[in-house]
Amino acid sequence: MTAPARVLVVDDSPTMRGLITAVLNADPDVTVIGQAGDAMEARNAIKQLDPDVVTLDIEMPNMNGLEFLDKIMKLRPMPVIMVSTLTHRGAEASLMALEIGAFDCVGKPQPGEVRPFSDLAEKVKAAARSQRRLRTDPPPIAPVAVHASPSTYRPGRKIIAIGASTGGVEALITVLQKFPVNCPPTVITQHMPSTFTKSFADRLNRLCAPVVQEATDGARLEIGKIYLAPGGERHLQVANPHAPCCRLVDRDPVNGHRPSVDVLFDSVAELAGRNAVGAILTGMGRDGAAGLLKMRHAGARTIGQNEKTCVVYGMPRVAFELGAVEHQFPLSSIGEEILKITAAIEKEANNVSR
């Protein structure tokens, strides 16, 4: 029998510490072994208790959560789940935390919320199980090298579809920084709160050569553009074979998620078939596995992130076991592999058209 995940709760609010502790202790596979109100208390508690996982408030006195997280990742790497306000400022800080090395982020409850921190225990258990190779000194993000090789795009010819969840922020930055300024139209579903996706799209747009934007209903799929599904109430699909575009559709959650990777992949399979490339990256659960299998059955080329480089080898594992993944690659090479495949698709299409 696996021992419960041992957690240290760090938050300057006694009320919030009490709430997080109560939620986590309600799960028999999680045990809160200590609490701390600031970075100094947390530092001492980590030394004394050696927790499996730390939950860390972003906004704290003396030393904020980001500064303390950076020290943890450099001096004593361990899984850290950040607790953030669901505001624009909180979203920006959360994205920075994920890049520094946080396992995941959860939002503080809103007034009247019925089940606060409903997914926190599952994330804590995944963090405790994770095989993440935490870096002692995360490398800075390198400047973007803009690729000049030209490409052409015809309606329905090449579409790239990517799905990710836990660990996806870092993974997507790594993959998309390899894309040229004239990359094929790319659609992405990343599980994250609605207040985070606009900030994440803006951050990707600053870091990557192509234009990255939050997807809007009816937006035309164009060369050199990457469309990120907005979090919240609708799913992202692609539609219209004559003038491919984004569609945001009202549907119940799929696999517990909205937007769902499966919904996106299903639509790409139907619209583009063999002219698509699908990639499933790190994440908890199984969302995207069935959709990627549908893409492969439709003739699309499919890629999965390998276990060694995943923060959580959940979604890619299920996809691989279903037979949805043609090849698994380490995260560092997935961007190049996607580009190789799209170039091969283009070459094949040109040969057929002659």
Catalytic residues: 165, 191, 287
Which residues share a beta bridge with 213? 227
- Collapsed DSSP state (helix, strand, coil) of residue 33: strand
Q: Which helix (H) or strand (E) holds 174?
A: helix 168-176
Cα–Cα distance between 196 and 86 in angstroms, integer? 8
Q: How many residues does the chain have?
A: 354
DSSP label at 252? Answer: -
Tokens 């860390």, residue? Answer: 56
Q: Are 295 and 304 in contact (CB under 8 A)?
A: no
Instruction: Give me the amino acid identity at 249.
Output: V
Pairing of β 235-239 and β 245-249: antiparallel
Closest CA to 7 of 117, 112, 90: 117
**Angstrom distances, CA of residue 345 to CA of 113, 227, 263, 320:** 48, 21, 24, 22
Closest CA to 165 of 229, 86, 97: 229
What are the tokens at 228?
């990120």
